[in-house]
Chains A and B, each alone.
Chain A
Amino acid sequence: MVYLRSEEHVQRWLDTNGWEPGATITAVQTNELARTWSWSRLDPGWHPRTIEESQAILGGLDLTGEFWSLR
């Protein structure tokens, strides 16, 4: 998962490396996702999330569809 400056840079980066496109999201979406995903990592009572809980986080940020399916 990498930062890119524009859609043009995304395409050039994919072409240069010969990779099929995955998913492009904005840095704002990534920040919301990362913040929610990592928020409880240091909680003393942390326990592993279930797949359903993780999927709900993705879904709550409109990251849905086959690409974002954890199963």
Chain B
Amino acid sequence: MDVFDLDVRRHVYFSIVASGRAPNAEEAADALGCDRPAVEASFRRLHDAHALVLFPSSTEIWMANPFCFAPTPHSVEAGGRTWTGACAWDALGIPGALHGDGRVRSECACCGEPVTLEVQDGALVEGAELLVHILVPAREWWSDIGFT
């Protein structure tokens, strides 16, 4: 991964934390002082390297894991904002990435009953009785990162 792509990725993540949303290619190009096609090409390389996930046939950011920018059942309060986690794992990854406490509000995939998980000082202090199921073996996670 070259220096430009690392700069673009760093800008994306810092923008997410600052604004609560992912920048588009034009916004990133303006901030980085380069042109939009260069950023779009970088977004595609970062997607191919699994450092970002773009929506299909688009240069809009779908995920900058653990942050997700499409609706899911996993809502996360952390760092003074409400975020969306792509999956059960990423929802708990958001407090980790922000190095803080967090509360996940989600649902049981079987019965739809609301579930809450709370992280304090890195430990799960609510929701410890819950289980997480992973359907797809690890080597195939990136075959379809939206379905794991």
Contact of B124 among A13, A31, A46, A58 (CB under 8 A): A31
Q: Chain B, interface size: which category?
A: 35 or more
Once A35-B122, A71-B139 are accepted as A-B contacts, the answer to whether A3 and B132 lie under 8 Å apart by CB is yes
The B101-119 residues at the A interface (CB cut-off 8 A) are 106-111, 113, 115, 117, 119
Instruction: Report whether A69 and B99 are in contact in the complex, using a CB–CB cutoff of 8 Å.
Output: no
Contact of B93 among A21, A29, A34 (CB under 8 A): A34
Considering the complex, give the chain A residue whose CB is closest to the CB of B88: A1
Considering the complex, give the chain A residue whose CB is closest to the CB of B126: A27
The B44-73 residues at the A interface (CB cut-off 8 A) are 49-51, 65-66, 73
Q: What residues of chain A lie closer than 8 Å to B132, measured between beta carbons?
A: 1-4, 24-27, 29-30
Instruction: Report whether B133 and A23 are in contact in the complex, using a CB–CB cutoff of 8 Å.
Output: yes
The size of the chain A interface, using a CB distance under 8 A, is 46
Instruction: Report whether B139 and A69 are in contact in the complex, using a CB–CB cutoff of 8 Å.
Output: yes
Q: Main secondary structure on chain B at its contact with chain A?
A: mixed
C-alpha gap A58/B138 in the complex (Å): 10
Instruction: Report whether B138 and A67 are in contact in the complex, using a CB–CB cutoff of 8 Å.
Output: yes
Q: What residues of chain B lie closer than 8 Å to A27, measured between beta carbons?
A: 92, 117, 124, 127-132
Which stretch in B5-13, B25-33, B34-42 binds the other chain? Answer: B5-13
Enumerate chain A interface residues (CB-CB to B < 8 A).
1-7, 9-10, 12-14, 16, 19-31, 33-39, 41-42, 44, 46-48, 58, 66-71
List 18 A-B residue pairs with CB atoms under 8 Å apart, sorted by A's residue number: A1-B148, A2-B73, A2-B87, A3-B107, A4-B108, A5-B115, A5-B130, A13-B109, A16-B110, A24-B131, A27-B132, A30-B89, A37-B89, A38-B93, A42-B13, A42-B98, A67-B138, A69-B139
